[in-house]
């Protein structure tokens, strides 16, 4: 009988690793509990937030000349935070990472204020780094189809046939259902698309769930992989496996797309996530409703969907002219 497979999740930073006095460490513990229990943040999010906060506290230890305490945080001025951001910028950190770190600090200070630990306006007076507008770069319809059809040709000579079936199933899920790579790899065998299913329940960021339609091509690709996979796929175990039977490493899927880029002469932006961009963009180009695409992608804000699908002013006017009841009365 196959042993149950344990999925390793990123562990939060041990409380002893935070450079802080006991009172602040205790507050950090409460913050982590809130992220996990109340906000239902994923293990990846909690670990990332913890790293950002730990980096800030390490900076304060050197900046202040001792372990930071709650009282010390209450006395921080905007210039202290600017010094931290300047240090991070000098480390050639991407502006998006700097902005995320600042967002984590704002959230942590709000938590401390709500718990009555301090009251500080320093962060409110601070402006974050200006972020460049990120424009999604989807694959063309032809390139997306060719990438799925070329998977066999980029496999290693020693690779077993089931590996190509697995890789085809994953990329078909990303493009056919608009899944994030993490969402596809989080699927269990019990959740796997199969004959008779018309929709797939997906758990996305913040444990928010959404329902996406299943194309016959997606079901066929996943069933082909399951039939070829040499490992016992227990209902609660990960659907996609590595060569040794453990959960599939996302880096292997990224490497697959790198190989496809080289083979097909695609741009560096042709990543696993670009298949999700392509899903949304191709739906929109085919006349898909913007709100429906927002639901399929799991976006909380419509503006996010607009950026995701590279909507231009012309397309927006077409949607307006079709949908607004007074659009034809100008």
Distance between CA atoms of residues 309 and 281, nearest Å? 5
CA 197 to chain centre: 26
Collapse the DSSP code of 241 into the 3-class scheme (helix H, G, I; strand E, B; otherwise coil) and give the result. Answer: strand
Q: Is the dihedral of CA 316, 321, 323, 327 positive or negative?
A: positive
Among candidate residues 299, 315, 322, 330, the one labeled active-site is 299
Q: Which of 117, 273, 277, 282 is catalytic?
A: 273
CA distances from 4 to 24, 165, 231, 237 (A): 39, 23, 12, 7
The catalytically annotated residue of 49, 175, 225, 308 is: 308
Identify the active-site residue in 261, 276, 277, 282: 276
Place of tokens 């050639």: 92
CA gyration radius, the chain: 23
Question: What span, in angstroms and rounded, lies between the C-alpha atoms of 12 and 194?
Answer: 35
Q: What is the 3-state secondary structure (H, E, C) of 129-140?
A: CCCCCCCCCCCC
Neighbouring C-beta atoms of residue 138, cutoff 10 Å: 25
The two structure tokens encoding residue 32: 């982590």
Residue 180 annotated to the active site: yes
**Terminal Cα-to-Cα distance of the chain (whole angstroms):** 71
Q: Which of 205, 263, 307, 315 is catalytic?
A: 205
273 is catalytic: yes
3 catalytically annotated? no
315 catalytic? Reply is no
Q: What angle do CA 197, 174, 216 make, to 5 degrees?
A: 35
Cα gap 258→252, rounded to integer Å? 10
Q: Of the listed 180, 226, 277, 282, which one is catalytic?
A: 180
* Strands 209-213 and 199-203, sheet pairing: antiparallel
Residue numbers annotated as active site: 180, 205, 273, 276, 299, 308
């Amino acid at each position: 009988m196959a042993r149950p497979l344990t999925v390793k999740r990123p562990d939060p930073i041990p409380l002893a690793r935070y450079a802080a006095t006991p009172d602040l460490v205790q507050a950090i513990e409460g913050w982590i509990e809130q992220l996990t229990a109340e906000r239902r943040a994923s293990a990846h999010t909690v670990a990332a937030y913890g790293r950002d906060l730990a980096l800030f506290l390490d900076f304060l230890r050197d900046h202040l000349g001792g372990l930071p305490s709650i009282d010390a945080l209450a006395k921080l001025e905007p210039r202290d935070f600017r010094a931290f951001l300047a240090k991070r910028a000098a480390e050639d950190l991407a502006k998006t990472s700097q902005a995320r770190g600042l967002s984590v600090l704002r959230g942590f200070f709000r938590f401390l204020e709500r718990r009555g630990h301090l009251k500080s306006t320093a962060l409110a007076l601070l402006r974050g780094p200006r972020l460049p507008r990120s424009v999604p770069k989807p694959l063309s319809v032809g390139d997306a189809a060719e990438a799925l059809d070329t998977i066999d040709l980029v496999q290693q000579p020693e690779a077993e046939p089931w590996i190509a079936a697995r890789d085809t199933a994953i990329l078909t899920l990303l493009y056919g259902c608009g899944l994030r790579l993490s969402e596809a790899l989080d699927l269990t065998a019990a959740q796997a698309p199969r004959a008779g299913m018309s929709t797939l329940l997906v758990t996305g960021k913040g444990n928010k769930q959404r329902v996406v339609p299943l194309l016959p091509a997606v079901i066929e690709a996943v069933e082909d992989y399951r039939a070829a996979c040499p490992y016992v796929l227990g209902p609660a175990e990960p659907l996609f496996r590595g060569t040794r039977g453990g959960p599939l490493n996302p880096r292997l899927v990224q490497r697959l797309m790198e190989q496809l880029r080289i083979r097909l002469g695609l741009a560096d932006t042709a990543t696993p996530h670009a298949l999700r961009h392509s899903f949304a963009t191709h739906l929109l180009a085919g006349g898909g409703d913007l709100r429906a695409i927002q639901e399929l992608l799991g976006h909380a804000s419509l503006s996010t969907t607009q950026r995701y699908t590279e909507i231009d002013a012309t397309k927006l006017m077409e949607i307006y002219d079709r949908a607004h009841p007074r659009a034809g009365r100008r």
